[in-house]
Amino acid sequence: MTDPQALDRAACAARDTADPLAPLREQFDLPAGVNYLDGNSLGVLPRATAARVQDVVTQEWGQGLIRSWNSAGWIDLPRRVGDKIGRLVGAAPGELVVADSTSVNLFKVLSAAARIAQADDPARRVIVSERSNFPTDLYIAESVAAQHGMVLELHDIDAIPARLASGAGSDVAVLMLTQVNYRSGRMADMAAVTAQAHAAGALMLWDLAHSAGAVPVDLNGANADFAVGCGYKYLNGGPGAPAFCWAHPRHAERFWQPLSGWMGHAAPFVFEPGYRPAPGMQRYLCGTPPVIGASALECGVDAMLAAEPLGGMAALRTKSVALSELFIALVRQHLAGSGLTIHTPLDAAQRGSQVSLGVPADGSIDGYAVMQALIARGVIGDYRAGDGTAAEPHLLRFGFTPLYTRFVDVFDAIQALAEVLARGEWREARFMAKAAVT
Ligand X SMILES: *Cc1c(COP(=O)(O)O)cnc(C)c1O
Residues that bind ligand X (CB under 6 A): 101-103, 134, 136-137, 178, 182, 207, 209-210, 230, 243
Distance between terminal CA atoms of the chain? 54
The reply to whether 262 sits in an annotated binding site is yes
Task: Note the helical H segments in 56-134.
Answer: 68-71, 77-89, 102-120
Choice among 124, 186, 233, 406 that is catalytic: 233
**Which C-beta is closer to ligand X: that of 211 or that of 324?**
211
Q: Are 247 and 307 in contact (CB under 8 A)?
A: no
Dist CA 378 CA 413 (whole Å):
9
Choice among 182, 232, 234, 400 that is catalytic: 232
The reply to whether 170 sits in an annotated binding site is no
**Which C-beta is closer to ligand X: that of 293 or that of 393?**
293
Shortest distance in whole angstroms from residue 429 CB to ligand X: 26
**What's CA 320's distance to the chain center, in Å?**
15
Contacts by residues 366-371 (CB-CB < 8 Å, ≥ 24 positions apart): 366/426, 366/427, 366/430, 367/394, 367/395, 367/396, 368/394, 368/430, 368/433, 369/426, 369/427, 369/429, 369/430, 369/433, 370/396, 370/417, 370/420, 370/421, 370/426, 370/429, 371/396
The reply to whether 210 sits in an annotated binding site is yes
Nearest of 367, 363, 321, 375 to residue 344 by alpha carbon: 321
For the question of residue 250 being annotated catalytic, the response is no
The reply to whether 438 sits in an annotated binding site is no
**Which C-beta is closer to ligand X: that of 78 or that of 201?**
78
**Which C-beta is closer to ligand X: that of 282 or that of 354?**
354
Nearest of 401, 309, 387, 310 to residue 352 by alpha carbon: 401
The reply to whether 83 sits in an annotated binding site is no
For the question of residue 234 being annotated catalytic, the response is no
For the question of residue 232 being annotated catalytic, the response is yes
Return the half-sphere exposure (C-beta side, CA atoms, 13 A cut-off) of residue 185: 31
**Which C-beta is closer to ligand X: that of 201 or that of 213?**
213
Shortest distance in whole angstroms from residue 18 CB to ligand X: 33
Beta bridge partners of 396: 357, 383
**Which C-beta is closer to ligand X: that of 211 or that of 338?**
211
Shortest distance in whole angstroms from residue 204 CB to ligand X: 16
Dist CA 272 CA 260 (whole Å):
13
Strand pairing category for 354-358 and 203-207? unpaired
Q: Are 231 and 98 in contact (CB under 8 A)?
A: yes
**Which C-beta is closer to ligand X: that of 79 or that of 183?**
183
Choice among 28, 36, 107, 134 that is catalytic: 134
Dist CA 424 CA 245 (whole Å):
45
Helix axes 367-376, 407-422, angle to 10 degrees: 120
CA distances 211 to 118, 132, 138, 283, 320, Å, are 29, 17, 18, 25, 12
Shortest distance in whole angstroms from residue 154 CB to ligand X: 14
For the question of residue 207 being annotated catalytic, the response is yes
Shortest distance in whole angstroms from residue 101 CB to ligand X: 3
The reply to whether 137 sits in an annotated binding site is yes
Cβ neighbours, 10 Å, residue 176: 29
Three-state DSSP at 356 gives strand
Cβ neighbours, 10 Å, residue 71: 11
The reply to whether 58 sits in an annotated binding site is no
Annotation: binding site? 102-103, 134-137, 178, 207, 210, 232, 262, 288
Annotation: binding site for pyridoxal 5'-phosphate? 102-103, 134-137, 178, 207, 210, 232, 262, 288
**Where in the sequence numbering do the catalytic residues fall?**
134, 207, 232-233, 397
